Structure 1
């Protein structure tokens, strides 16, 4: 239903963004046929790639695309695990990387203003320079961009204490599907002045607007913290530590889980030796405080909980050990060329049960089911590797696994995705497992603001 990109459209793009920022050569287009998707069957090569340098240029490109009836897929750093940055309907890829400046760090108002293409790690570093913290901290923080975090409402390892990305945002500048520029949200503690459009647009995966600038909340940096890594010889023991830590009132910043499959893959990938590598399941716990006495009592209490849970060993989780956790997704590459990562989220009190159940399910499939995740907020990443399976065997068994796992997750009150988004990969599951009235409400919103379905079509649900 869309038109093809032609020479006139390319010339118009060049007039807006500059000839040097519009790419149509095959080598460049081939680089953007996928994001973190590893299955070639899901690759789609765009017809053109354009890198705007300002909000005004983004607005002009969107207006042009509407006139020409050509779809736009917005791409941040391409770290999506749900095919969110793949141009599944053709058209153009809009790269946000040129718009990468941090415009302001306000230490009185405790906020930061940054362009959407700014790297998350640079936002974190800019805050830390002023003894402040930007609390958004996904595992891909080294490479992902802040606009992509907002578009998917990314979670990360600190979500249990600070909340997800939408909890870290005051407001943002957005280009609408019609190419208009609007500012939504404000640096206010509370606001009931019409619809909270910033909350609606965050997590909409680029389908309701293009985020070009963000105003992030900052918080004082806690001066005291401890990081602990507890090792267990069974999934059950490790999983049961999670609710014990939460109930103990330690107010942890992070509780992260890695099963032994990931312990083995990531230690190999990082070339790092750890005790009990062949049997250990990891639980990381971080506690931050402004009171040194609370730090000491918290560490003592956590040590008791680990001992009661049957830990093999408890270590200080230094940066070397945290690197293992952050490298889990990358480590899958040494196991298989084609992998899939699910993003279940369940009520926090159901985490231990879910980990145990999903691992047991894996015994009935011709691939290993690997589990890691942000156990403290109920978000579990369930991963599988194709290895030597044929494409037909792989697709058949993945579908069978999903037909077993998804109903189980929903029976607990869970959902398909906690932070990765739906993208194109889970679209048909989204349509199947979402209540019809809720799904139609979403469709009505999309049709109302983007009647030509220009922005990121083929994602989340079919219009």
Structure 2
């Protein structure tokens, strides 16, 4: 385990000189605010010793140089929407916020790209692109609140990943600060590149352990003028999950294929104060298709309706904004039912998503906790929200541990992995060490040590360096 020095008055003074006193806080109220992200279980909470708000890449670099000089850990934090304890300061030290660096610097319509700072809100990037007739395809469910830097650092997925890929597929290049405080620009606005290691891809998705992303050049796409959102409602789980492979095989190239089990349908409906068809017994599959041609959209609508009906859908309806409101509020809705929960975002090959949902839903019946199931079904990403409810801490820990001991090996047997988009954070470090192939883990640790010899940047995340 790395050993760190406490944040001394000398460290605070150095940070104030670098950033300005108003952007360096050590008061109890601020420290309390940043002891967690979306994690509600107090056992995972850790107080930082100081919170800083740099306003430029150069100031981020200055913070990292100070941290290395005084051997103090740094936890970079975007909007704090992580559900894997990714923004929690496990070893105290400095929490570094990127909120001040929120500019959208350029939207180039000729080159179809956008240059943004890490603190820009994802929804504002989407809206600005749309207003210019383009699409920024990154679309995590927390888009209204999350920041682009955190999206890139975790390689966020979201609703459109089945067609357009995850966040790293939307990025040409990044500017980042290394763990030792150097500024680096990696990647380029090119369709292809075989010039050395692909360092931008290494830093993206590393959960803030290999660099702090401060700026990015994002890809923009033409905005499809024709779009259909369809809601297929099933009253049988097997038929609902069986729709996904039928859609994929049909070659419809959907933008989204989202699955909600009935527990989520009911909890999110109650939370949003909406009552849609089959509230009591429905499993929802939301399908989005987009085209550049109205006739093509009509053809896909007919084909989609036929496939859903043939797969056993009870109702096939056009989905309006209410349906997407339910989908986006699913995780938030469960907080009303249980303040403490844990979220898994297991990922398997797309052709195995139906088998995975069926099997693990059945396994969960042997436990006392409540299991709610979501899926970005079109890309094989399965979300289990496990609710503690009235269980004791001891029973909760025991049951979740035993369920994971069954679920994780099964997922790996299908060719899957622990996380499709939420990341490992601090919450799944032990599982990451257990299920990762030893040589692969060795390579990752050697990369971390080479770039961050003092283990200063976001320690306690992904694996034990």
- TM-score normalised per structure 1: 0.99
- Provide the rounded CA distance (Å) in 1 between the counterparts of 2:16 and 2:283: 53
Task: Trace 1:284-433 onto structure 2 (pairs within 5 A).
Answer: 284-433=286-435
Task: Trace 1:4-43 onto structure 2 (pairs within 5 A).
Answer: 4-43=6-45
Partner of 2:158: 156
Q: Unpaired segments of 5 or more residues in structure 1?
A: none
Partner of 2:223: 221
- TM-score normalised per structure 2: 0.99
Partner of 1:258: 260
How big is the shift at 1:367?
1.1
Q: Secondary structure at the match of 1:205?
A: coil
Q: Answer yes or no: is the 8 Å Cα contact 1:101–1:117 preserved in 2.
A: yes
Q: Does 1:200 align with 2:202?
A: yes
How big is the shift at 1:272?
0.3
Q: Answer yes or no: is the 8 Å Cα contact 2:37–2:81 preserved in 1.
A: yes
How big is the shift at 1:398?
0.3
- Provide the rounded CA distance (Å) in 2 between the counterparts of 1:63 and 1:294: 56
How big is the shift at 1:16?
1.1
How big is the shift at 1:23?
0.9
Decide which of 231, 234, 237 is 1:235's aligned counterpart.
Answer: 237
Aligned residues: 463
- Provide the rounded CA distance (Å) in 2 between the counterparts of 1:377 and 1:398: 25
Q: Secondary structure at the match of 1:364?
A: coil
Task: Trace 1:116-195 onto structure 2 (pairs within 5 A).
Answer: 116-195=118-197
How big is the shift at 1:207?
0.5
Q: Answer yes or no: is the 8 Å Cα contact 1:228–1:315 preserved in 2.
A: yes
- Provide the rounded CA distance (Å) in 2 between the counterparts of 1:92 and 1:77: 16
- Provide the rounded CA distance (Å) in 1 between the counterparts of 2:360 and 2:293: 39
* Per-residue CA distance 1:230-266 (angstroms, 9 max, x = gap): 1100111110011111111111000000000100100
* Per-residue CA distance 1:272-309 (angstroms, 9 max, x = gap): 01111010000000000001111001000111111111
Decide which of 79, 82, 89 is 2:81's aligned counterpart.
Answer: 79
- Provide the rounded CA distance (Å) in 2 between the counterparts of 1:264 and 1:359: 17
- Provide the rounded CA distance (Å) in 2 between the counterparts of 1:189 and 1:129: 25
- Provide the rounded CA distance (Å) in 2 between the counterparts of 1:174 and 1:264: 43
Q: Answer yes or no: is the 8 Å Cα contact 2:370–2:388 preserved in 1.
A: no
Q: Secondary structure at the match of 2:90?
A: coil
Partner of 1:452: 454
Q: Answer yes or no: is the 8 Å Cα contact 2:121–2:145 preserved in 1.
A: yes
* Per-residue CA distance 1:345-381 (angstroms, 9 max, x = gap): 0000001111111111111000122110200000010
Q: Secondary structure at the match of 1:82?
A: coil
Q: Answer yes or no: is the 8 Å Cα contact 1:359–1:370 preserved in 2.
A: no
Partner of 1:272: 274
* Per-residue CA distance 1:175-215 (angstroms, 9 max, x = gap): 01111111000101111111110000000000000100000
Q: Answer yes or no: is the 8 Å Cα contact 2:39–2:84 preserved in 1.
A: yes
Decide which of 281, 284, 301 is 1:282's aligned counterpart.
Answer: 284
Decide which of 425, 437, 440 is 2:439's aligned counterpart.
Answer: 437
- CA-atom RMSD in angstroms: 0.6
How big is the shift at 1:100?
0.5
- Provide the rounded CA distance (Å) in 1 between the counterparts of 2:97 and 2:172: 24
